[in-house]
Structure 1
Amino acid sequence: MSESVPVLPPKPGSGRRTGLIAAAVVVVLLLAAVIAYVVSRGSSDDAAAGDGSTTPTVVRLGTTDVAQPHWEILKELAAAEDIDLEIVGFSEYTQPNPALAEDEIDLNAFQHVLYLADHNNNTGDDLQPVGSTLIVPLPLYSEKHEEVGEFTKGEQVAIPNDATNQARALFVLESAGLIEFTGEPKVPTPDDVDTAASTVVVRPVEASQTAGLIGDPDIAGVIVNNNFASDAGFDLDGYVYADDPSSAGAQPYINVIAARPADVDNPVYQRIVELYHDPSVTESVVESSGGTAVIVEGYDAAKLQQVLKDTQANLKAAG
């Protein structure tokens, strides 16, 4: 049996030093764990953002035809590029521009250039187009008549009462031979209608209400904007008469995506315009319009802004 190895007594103070070393090791390990957790959590957050480095950019776009299927298609295309596109619905034309001017939304898409020009002139806002969408004819519908020649003296036709759609509606009725003007107004109002020389009497109402008057016994016809006609279930090819959206004078009626003036060069907004022109979106737009919508290509933001400037000047001159 081997001899036992003698055990020396600990030196004074050696136990306390050993405890301090152990405590220091614990602190270092805890700090390392905390750092590892923070780095791991940051990496997880970045991965959840969609592209490994950024969170989605949120863009709120206001429109009056929120139920149309092309918006969901556009949202999906935007989401694939880390753009969280929120579509905000408005029930009346008078709402989206003030909401845009007051930063409640980032973009809107519901109006043509002439409507935007009238809004800017009347409010002092300087909202600007950042891209084109479509142009559609403004149709006259009737449940009583199948042809323009069937309208009789004194029958009423409901038209939108906002200044720009009203002017276009009056031009439609003039082109159809149902009214005449007392002069040659650039932006006509009902006061410019020569009642004695006209066949029909115009009845201005809020644009969203025109479709609902199609069955009114006192109304022989209604002029309805395409989105309201679609929402009301109209046969979009079943109109009595419509203007020509491809005519040379159609520029003021090009529908646009609008932004605040400081945001016209925002690359995210410009990308949304580009995505709107993706075939999957535009095919849905045309289909929903019953084939009546014409997608407007070849108008960049600068060209549209010049059209807006010219239109605002024309409105002021006519005013």
Structure 2
Amino acid sequence: MKKILSTALAASLLSTGLVACSSDSNEASDTIKVGSTDSSQKAWQVWEDKAKEAGINLEVVNFADYSTPNQALSQHQIDANQFQHLKFLAEYNANTGEHLVPVGSSEVVPLALFWKDHDSLDGIEGENIAIPNDPTNQARALHVLAAADLITLKNKDQLSPTPADVDTKASKVTLTPVDAAQTPAAYGDGQPAIINNNFLDRAGIDAKTAIFKDDPASPEAEPYINVLVTTEDRADDPQLQQLVEIWHSPEVQEARKQDTKGTAYPIQRSQEDLQEILDKLEQDAKQQ
């Protein structure tokens, strides 16, 4: 696995032009490089501007996929990244043996259930619901449906359930796992669907039309807290911790509200809390 990841990393970093930046050059530079997968959004530019006002030269480095930012961070090609929630980070650490850590939290983006031409759960019993089939989103989708009292999980405390963990006889709906990108198509065909936030705009679906979504302030949403992440040796870096504070400034938050059409829910949790949640998630991932 490490050999495969090493080969993939070399190719990915070459394509992004980051190979030329050694860890020594990062240390010699006053620039803080933070990886992202959506740097074109307004909040990132505002974040850079506010950081500059605070004396921090922040450079947001964009990546085209979700695997490269953690690999680049592990190789010290960037100083931190902000694109993932704690569950994604836990699975990366568990699968690679790395020990990337959270510096601070940013937000939770609720996962929601949509049903074309419906504004409530009324009449949904007996329907077949499309859910994402990738492990992370599928597990969260099942928790959303359980919270809506539409399905019953055999073990409600299980962090990463699969459809096999659903008590079908006690549930009110059936499920069809599909590729996450196909859930808007299922919705368009009149099928209720759990749809990831990043697919809503592409499909022209208004996030406010959700008929149910998970509670971003609930304990069940803790695995999905998005975080600024760095390496263990940089966990207490005062500039990275200051960047977390700047992210929660009114100016950045207003820009983020515009970017997400108000769907992102700001979360401020202590570094100790975040690490505790991550440790539990990593333990669970290793047992899967």
Query: Under TM normalisation by the shorter chain, which class is it?
Result: 0.7 to 0.9
Q: Distance in 1 between matches of 2:133 and 2:48?
A: 30
Q: Distance in 1 between matches of 2:118 and 2:211?
A: 8
* 1:90-109 alignment runs, 5 A limit: 90-109=63-82
Q: Distance in 1 between matches of 2:187 and 2:160?
A: 29
Q: Distance in 1 between matches of 2:227 and 2:128?
A: 34
Q: 1:122 to 1:227 in 2, by over 3 A?
A: same
Letter in 1 for 2:174: V
* 1:22-37 alignment runs, 5 A limit: none
Contact 2:85 2:227 in 1 (8 A): yes
Letter in 2 for 1:157: A
Q: Distance in 1 between matches of 2:211 and 2:130?
A: 12
Q: Distance in 2 between matches of 1:104 and 1:57?
A: 14
2:176 is aligned to 202
Equivalent in 166, 169, 173 of residue 138 of structure 2: 166
Aligned residues: CA RMSD:
2.7
Larger Cα Rg: Structure 1 or Structure 2? Answer: 1
Q: Distance in 2 between matches of 1:308 and 1:125?
A: 13
Deviation at 1:150, TM superposition (A): 3.3
Equivalent in 96, 103, 111 of residue 123 of structure 1: 96
2:278 is aligned to 308
Deviation at 1:234, TM superposition (A): 3.2
Q: Answer yes or no: is 1:286 the counterpart of 2:257.
A: yes
Q: Distance in 1 between matches of 2:29 and 2:235?
A: 20
Q: Distance in 2 between matches of 1:231 and 1:133?
A: 24
Q: Answer yes or no: is 1:57 the counterpart of 2:30.
A: yes
* 1:260-271 alignment runs, 5 A limit: 260-271=231-242
Equivalent in 12, 28, 52 of residue 79 of structure 1: 52
Q: Provide the identity percentage.
A: 36
Describe the SS at the equivalent of 2:34.
Answer: strand
1:149 is aligned to 122
Higher relative contact order (CA 8 A, sep 6+): 2
TM-score of the two chains, using structure 1 as the length reference:
0.71
Query: Structure 1 unaligned runs (5+)?
Result: 1-54
TM-score of the two chains, using structure 2 as the length reference:
0.77
Query: Structure 2 unaligned runs (5+)?
Result: 1-27
Q: 1:187 to 1:215 in 2, by over 3 A?
A: closer
Q: Distance in 1 between matches of 2:203 and 2:113?
A: 15
Letter in 1 for 2:179: V
Q: Distance in 2 between matches of 1:104 and 1:266?
A: 17
Deviation at 1:131, TM superposition (A): 0.8
**Bigger Cα displacement from structure 2, 64-73 vs 227-236:** 227-236
1:181 is aligned to 153
